[in-house]
Amino acid sequence: MQPLTTANIFNIQRFCLHDGPGIRTIIFFKGCPLRCKWCSNPESQSFLPELLYHSRLCIHCGICEKVCPSQAITLNDKGVRIDQSKCQRHGTCVEECPSGALTIAGESLSINSIIKIVVLDRHYYENSGGGVTLSGGEPFAQPEAAIELLRACKLEGFHTAVETCGHFDSGIVRKLDGLVDLFLLMLRKSIQQLIRPVLE
Cα–Cα distance measured from residue 183 to residue 138, given in angstroms and rounded to the nearest whole number: 12
Q: Is 104 exposed, middle or buried (0-12, 13-18, 19+ CB in 10 A)?
A: middle
- Decide the pairing of beta strands 50-53 and 24-29: unpaired
Cis peptide before 79 (omega within 30 of 0): no
Mean pLDDT, residues 162-191 taken together: 83
Confidence band (pLDDT; 50, 70, 90) for 39?
confident
Confidence band (pLDDT; 50, 70, 90) for 23?
very high
Read off the pLDDT of residues 78-101 as tens digits, 9 standing for 90 and up. 889 999 899 998 899 999 999 999
The torsion of the CA quartet 59, 65, 69, 71, rounded to 10 degrees, works out to 140
130-145 burial, b for 16+ CB within 10 Å, e for fewer?
bbbbbbbbbbbbbbeb
